[in-house]
Amino acid sequence: MQNKLPADFKETISSYSFVAPALLVIGTFIVLPIAYTLVLCVHKVQLLGEVQYEFVGIRNFARLIADDRVWIALRNTVEYVAIVVPSQTLLALVLAVTLNAGVRGQQIWRVLYFLPTVTSSAVLTLIFMWIYNSEGLLNHILSHLGLPTYNWLKNPAVALKSIMLMNIWSTAPLYMIIYLAALQDIPRELYEAAKIDGATAWEQFLYITVPLLRPVTFFVITMGIIGTFQLFDQTYIFSNGSGGPNNATLTLVLLIYQYVFRDLQLGYAAVIALLLALVIITVTLLQRSWFDHSR
């Protein structure tokens, strides 16, 4: 007579059978690529002809420390994140509060605000390249107002700032929609009670709206940090893949692209990718710790 399997064992097998598809996808597309990246970090890979792996130990990491272009790219990327993330978050919140206040033609404004988000990034970049041209729309407006004009695409001092302006304008509407949904979930009774107690509109915003939006703000900032650290397509199109002028628009992801597809240095590019991942994780954890301690 066969022994029956224990009920706990059957339940365990049943549970794993349900999560097996998810584990398979995570293992195939997340765990294995991470493991392969770590393998590449300690190898020099020959991509032309038959693929060959030469173990080089920590040589790629030593090269990383001495590579000036890596630190230029990191500085540009951090500067971009430090300016774009707060700016797009604040702009998104202001737009959401404005729309939530019941302005006339709210649905039309929502569509107009959201149009940049649904437009192709490459198309937006080409449009802004025309706007930023030395004879483009922006310089005509500045000249008409008596303000100084710039060669936005070729001047190292303003090249990265021009990309910042474009991305703040194009990404804020997405986070505006998230904020708007959260604002509409805040009970109106809280504002009515505060108004009866004599709170001004600014005090209602500061002591009711902002604290209740804290989880949404954390999400928006986290997604903004992850997205901005991976800036690539705009800088590639603006600089024709060079990161110029004078490395002013060189970012870590663009540098990884150059080492992989231009120089065929897959192992060294993997080390830079690992650096980028560690930076994103560190900044995200610091931001989470700051949110936790500011409660």
pLDDT digits (tens, 9 = 90+) for 156-197: 989 999 999 999 998 998 999 999 989 988 888 998 899 898
Average pLDDT over residues 20-48: 91
Rounding to the nearest 10 degrees, give the CA dihedral for residues 12, 16, 17, 23. 180
Tokens for 243, please give them. 């990161």
Dist CA 30 CA 197 (whole Å)? 53
Average pLDDT over residues 86-105: 86
List Cβ neighbours of 133 (8 Å cut-off, separation of 6 or more). Answer: 139, 152, 153
Q: What percent of the chain lies above the pLDDT cut of 90?
A: 50
Dist CA 30 CA 188 (whole Å)? 43
Whether the bond between 211 and the residue before it is cis, its omega within 30 degrees of 0, is no
Q: What is the pLDDT of residue 294?
A: 67
Q: What is the pLDDT of residue 81?
A: 95
Q: What is the pLDDT of residues 118-148, one digit of tens each?
A: 888 888 889 999 999 888 888 999 898 888 8
Q: What percent of the chain lies above the pLDDT cut of 70?
A: 96
Residue 221: count other Cβ atoms within 10 Å of its Cβ. 20
Q: How confident is the model at residue 293 (pLDDT cuts 50, 70, 90)?
A: confident
Query: Could you tell me if 80 and 133 are in contact, meaning their C-beta atoms sit under 8 angstroms apart?
Result: no
Q: What is the pLDDT of residue 1?
A: 42
Dist CA 252 CA 75 (whole Å)? 9
Least confident of 2-11, 103-112, 221-230, 265-274: 2-11
When the pLDDT of each residue in the chain is averaged and rounded to a whole number, the result is: 89
Tokens for 106, please give them. 């709210």
60-293 — its CATH code? 1.10.3720.10
Q: What is the pLDDT of residue 4?
A: 60
Residues of the chain with CATH 1.10.3720.10: 60-293
List Cβ neighbours of 119 (8 Å cut-off, separation of 6 or more). Answer: 170
Q: What is the pLDDT of residue 3?
A: 55
The separation between the first and the last C-alpha atoms of the chain, rounded to the nearest angstrom, is 63
Average pLDDT over residues 34-42: 93
Q: What is the pLDDT of residue 148?
A: 86
Least confident of 5-14, 71-80, 239-248, 273-282: 5-14
Asked if residue 295 has pLDDT above 70, the reply is: no
Q: What is the pLDDT of residues 203-260, one digit of tens each?
A: 988 999 999 999 999 999 999 999 999 999 999 999 999 998 899 999 999 999 999 9
Rounding to the nearest 10 degrees, give the CA dihedral for residues 10, 12, 13, 16. 160
Asked if residue 10 has pLDDT above 80, the reply is: no
Q: How confident is the model at residue 116 (pLDDT cuts 50, 70, 90)?
A: confident
Q: What is the pLDDT of residue 231?
A: 92
Dist CA 252 CA 282 (whole Å)? 16
Asked if residue 110 has pLDDT above 80, the reply is: no
Q: What is the pLDDT of residue 71?
A: 95
Tokens for 53, please give them. 């792996």
